[in-house]
Amino acid sequence: MAARTRLTRDRVIDAALRVVDAEGLDALSMRRVADELGVETMALYRYTPSKDELLDGLVERLFIELEQSLSATPFGPAALAAGDADTAPPWREALVAVARAMYRVALAHPHVVPLMTLRPLTVPLSRRPPAVLRAHERLLTRLERAELGERATLELYRAWISWVLGYIVTELREFVDNPEEPDPSFRLGLHRLPVREFPRLRALGPGLAARGGEEQLAAGVTALIDRFAPPR
């Protein structure tokens, strides 16, 4: 339990992130976060009026970590937003670098990742956390400055978001049925699948359970770029 000190919204979100990282999203509640901070539950409502506020705060925290992880690189927020085409990094490399950074942040907080895809279904664009909006604004600005044209910009923007988030969610799928089982097929529970109905899943299951990693993510981003904005 954390020592009693002055509460702030950042401290509340930090505590929520610790709870989710350690125990998963199902464990998150206002009461559990209050316990983590060593305060009464009612004390949280001044900073996070609802559980939805906690959920949005967790998504925002991942995007803040993304900004921080890129800040010391040529692909950081300042460089990506730079108006000088001579000093800004090549936009193709930038899109790949941001995707890689997002992948690393996601793997550090796998239980939060589902919120990155679910919260946009319930939160209008204009009400999303500032850090989330900044990330999308930078992406659109960089694509616009690449002079792709509005249609290609929007198509590539949608494709990039869909591929990166989809890839990350797929990477973090739960496959293990029995972690203590040494045999791969039994560890994954593939023996439970009727062989006549699911021969391919039984045969390829171990391969599906393996992560593709950053390289496959980057290859996919590069393929998308070449599809929607072929090199000139």
The pTM for the full model equals 0.86
**Closest listed residue to residue 70, CA positions, set 41, 28, 103, 44:** 103
* C-alpha to C-alpha distance for 107 and 169, rounded to whole angstroms: 10
**Closest listed residue to residue 127, CA positions, set 55, 25, 66:** 55
Q: For position 178, what pLDDT does the model report?
A: 85
* C-alpha to C-alpha distance for 140 and 153, rounded to whole angstroms: 7
Show Cβ contacts of residue 169 under 8 Å, excluding neighbours closer than 6 positions.
113, 114, 117
Taking 70 as the pLDDT cut, the residues of the chain under it are 1-5, 77, 79-89, 232
- Cα→Cα distances 43→8, 26, 40, 208, Å: 10, 22, 6, 45
Q: For position 2, what pLDDT does the model report?
A: 44
Which of 176-181's residues contact partners 24+ apart within 8 Å by CB, and which partners?
A: 176/209
Q: For position 79, what pLDDT does the model report?
A: 65
Q: For position 75, what pLDDT does the model report?
A: 75
Cβ atoms within 10 Å, residue 81: 14
Residue reference for tokens 């969610």? 169
Show Cβ contacts of residue 102 under 8 Å, excluding neighbours closer than 6 positions.
66, 164, 168
* C-alpha to C-alpha distance for 54 and 50, rounded to whole angstroms: 7
Show Cβ contacts of residue 176 under 8 Å, excluding neighbours closer than 6 positions.
187, 188, 209
Is the distance from CB of 94 to CB of 166 less than 8 angstroms?
no
